[in-house]
Structure 1
Amino acid sequence: MNISIVTICITIINFIIILLFLKHFLFEKITKVIDDRNNEVKETIDKANSDKKEAEVLKISTQKNLDESKEKGKSIVEEYKEKAEKVSGNIKSEASNEAQLIITRAKKDIEREKEKAEDELKKKVVDLAVILSSKALEKSIDEEEHRRLIEQFIAKVGN
């Protein structure tokens, strides 16, 4: 092996020149690209963490709003249920009152009709009695005629 000092020195000088060339033209650009990429990744991670926190806040807010809406919905349903029950009670009460009025009116009408029929019956009885009296006065009647007239009177009153 023949290694010469000159070759070693030239190799070292070449290596230093290449190293300086790479450092000047490539390492700074590569380092800059790597740093930029690291910054982008860091910003993306920070933004993701920020978005995650914001999503948690929105989730809590949305859940709170949903719970409030459910409670409001329940209270509205209960309120309308109570109103419906009141209206139903009022309708039932009014219907019952109306039915009582109709029954009362019907009873009064029946009573009037009954009185009217009784009055008519009395008038007919009086008329028949008058007719019977006039017949009795027109002729003198014996007991047999008297019985016959009473039987006729009873037959007419019965009809």
Structure 2
Amino acid sequence: MELLKLLSANEIVAQIISFLLVFTLLRIFVWKHFLKILDDRRDRIASELKVIEDTKSDLAKAKAKYDALFLTIQQAAQEKFAEVMAQGEKDVREIKEKARLDAGEIIEDTKREIKFELARSREDLKERIIELTMQATRSMIQAKLTPEEDRRLIENFLKDVDRLEDKR
């Protein structure tokens, strides 16, 4: 109550009138400008939020695009890997087939060489038999043969032939 005693009615009325006058002047001159600044700030914040949302949307689209591209590249890499593996298996089969054919040729060449050596050995054997026969014939012609000597010469000849065959 003591506070009210310190204030006079004139001062209170003057302060109310001053307040209303300042309030009216502020409302007329400053308030619109202040509200415009606040509206502009609100619009700027809203537009920046819209830009952020658009950027997020674009980023999500780009990520989806890159994910799809990555999957495509990964599938292409897997297909290429499978293709390389198939080509490698094909090359292995071709190399094995070529090796098998080469081995067959080597075997055939070896068989031909063996046949040739066998034929040559037979020719050598024939030559040796002819030589032994000629020696036996010379021996028989030079010696007067009796039936026992004739038998002995033939047996010696057959033994020589057997020995030659045993060597081969």
Superposition TM-score, scaled by structure 1 size: 0.84
Determine the C-alpha separation between the residues in 1 that align with 2:111 and 2:51.
87
- Identical columns (%): 23
Instruction: State yes or no: 1:82 paired with 2:86.
Output: yes
Determine the C-alpha separation between the residues in 1 that align with 2:27 and 2:94.
96
**Which of 28-37 and 103-112 deviates more?**
28-37
Partner of 1:92: 96
**Which of 122-131 and 44-53 deviates more?**
44-53
Q: Report the count of equivalent residues.
A: 159
**Which of 116-125 and 25-34 deviates more?**
25-34
Partner of 1:151: 155
Give the counterpart letter for 2:97 in structure 1: S
The unaligned stretches of length 5 or more in structure 1 are none
Secondary structure class of the residue paired with 1:99: helix
Q: Among 60, 63, 66, which residue is 1:62 paired with?
A: 66
Aligned-residue CA RMSD (Å): 2.5
Instruction: State yes or no: 1:125 paired with 2:129.
Output: yes
Partner of 1:111: 115
Give the counterpart letter for 1:98 in structure 2: D
Give the counterpart letter for 1:57 in structure 2: K
| Displacement of 1:120 | 0.4
Determine the C-alpha separation between the residues in 2 that align with 1:27 and 1:144.
163
| Displacement of 1:98 | 0.7
| Displacement of 1:138 | 0.5
| Displacement of 1:67 | 1.7
Give the counterpart letter for 1:61 in structure 2: K
